[in-house]
Structure 1
Amino acid sequence: MSSDTPTTLTVFFDFQRVAQGSKAEVLDQLRRRDDPGPYLVFDDRTGAQLDLDMRELPPELRDHEAEHRDDAPRGVGRPKLGVVAREVTLLPRHWDWLGRQPGGASVALRKLVDDARRVNAERDTVRAAQEATYRFMTAIAGNLPGFEEATRALFAGEEQRFGNLIETWPADVRAHLQKLSAAGWHAQ
């Protein structure tokens, strides 16, 4: 899944999935529930557990607030182009080589990264699916029977064994694990 894809969340109450969708949709779904929680909220792309502030404004009020902030005068300088400046540490011979490339160091580095992303796309997909599955699994199923063996099967790429090991786990947990791990099985 691309990082450009909008983030979707999945929310569990105990072992039951109780909400899913964008952050705004999830907040709306949870506000309509009668139970007090606690809820476990997960990012569907990374499997990471998130904190969700239930006091966040509903979209219609947040949009109204944003309209009034947009009237502020713009600052001086270049408009935001999505470029992120970070530090890179290289040896002098690397800087020399980059400096001799057409377009300079930044262009050369972008091309190298794009080439590496293409070459390693399948491996990166498998790793990302495994990591997302593992994060979710650890947070919600760490005490379920067969957890350690299921983890070994996940990282060994043994789809059938993984499925067998989680077969007795709660249905919603099992379904979410299958969803998170699917891209990794298909890419292998």
Structure 2
Amino acid sequence: MHSPYPNQVIAFAGAHRIASGQLALVALKAKELLDRNDAATVLIFDDITSAQVEVDFRGSAEQVLQRLSSNEIHAAQTAKTVNSEELPRGPGRPKLGVIGREVTLLPRHWDWLNQQPGGASVALRKLVEDAKRQGEERDQIRRAQEYAYRFMSAMAGDLINFEEATRAFFAGDQERFAELSEPWQIDIRDHARRLAARAFAVEA
């Protein structure tokens, strides 16, 4: 079965995980539960970013899947429209992927850049690449922390030790985080730990 959503997802009904995998399959599982119990509260999360994924469960299972497919078509059309819009041509070498943009610097900065091998453009590109490499690990930690906290605040915000656990998490104390999250409902706890482990792994 084709899923319109690019990432895997995970669904919870209250504190219990009910399904994970492709969105279409998870939506069907959630639909079955809601048909049995329309008072149930189902939340679906992107398995990587923890962003909540909205699904319209009205009507039959077939209608739910049709709407998912329609959303995919709309997203693809939107992406095609955006990608087809060309930027105004300016200085640079577009065939090589080089785009000319204005950069405002102080005279002493331009003097230093112009003295570098290859000139200002080459020096600027090297500086950007070096900064990207140096900041990559920091950015990976930040993103992993953001994704884990997004889920924890949505599902564990009212649970015991939440504030202390999140402080331990952001401090990089994996052992303390595991200890403080131990009383949480098992499905919430296990998924929160799995997400948190990504941040701890980058820091190690």
Instruction: Tell whether the 8 Å contact from 2:56 to 2:64 is kept in structure 1 after alignment.
Output: no
Larger radius of gyration: 2
Contact 1:49 1:139 survives alignment (8 Å): no
The 5 Å alignment of 1:114-129 reads: 115-129=130-144
Match of 1:101 in 2: 121
Aligned to 1:84: none
Q: What residue number does 1:141 align with?
A: 156
Deviation per residue, 1:127-175 (Å, 9 max, x gap): 1121111111111111111111001001000000000000011110011
List alignment gaps of at least 5 residues for structure 1: 82-87
Residue in structure 2 matched with residue 40 of structure 1 by the alignment: 43
In structure 2, runs of 5+ residues without a counterpart are 87-100, 114-118
By how many angstroms is 1:121 displaced?
A: 2.5
Q: CA deviation at 1:122?
A: 2.1
CA contact (8 A) 2:24 2:68 kept: no
Does the alignment pair 1:167 with 2:191?
no
1:185 aligns with 2:162: no
1:23 aligns with 2:43: no
Q: Is the 8 A contact 1:41 1:51 kept in 2?
A: yes
Identity of aligned residues (%): 37
Count of aligned positions: 164
Structure 2 match to 1:9 = 9
- State yes or no: 1:157 paired with 2:172: yes
Query: When the two structures are superposed, what TM-score results if normalisation uses the length of structure 2?
Result: 0.64
The question of 1:91 aligning with 2:94 is answered no
> Comparing both structures, which one devotes a greater share of its residues to helix?
2
The 3-state SS of whatever aligns with 2:11 is strand
Sort the Cα spacing of 1:112 and 1:187 in 2 relative to 1 into closer, same or farther, 3 A: same
Matches of 1:12 and 1:92, distance apart in 2:
51
What is the distance in 2 between the residues matched to 1:148 and 1:89? 45
- Which range moves more in the overlay, 176-185 or 19-28? 19-28
Query: Which amino acid in structure 1 is aligned with residue 104 of structure 2?
Result: L
| Cα distance change on mapping 1:180 and 1:113 into 2, 3 Å | farther
What is the Cα deviation at residue 114 of structure 1? 5.1
Higher relative contact order (CA 8 A, sep 6+): 1
Match of 1:85 in 2: none
In the aligned structure 1, how far is the partner of 2:8 from the partner of 2:104?
A: 40
Distance in 1 (CA, whole Å) between partners of 2:187 and 2:175 is 19
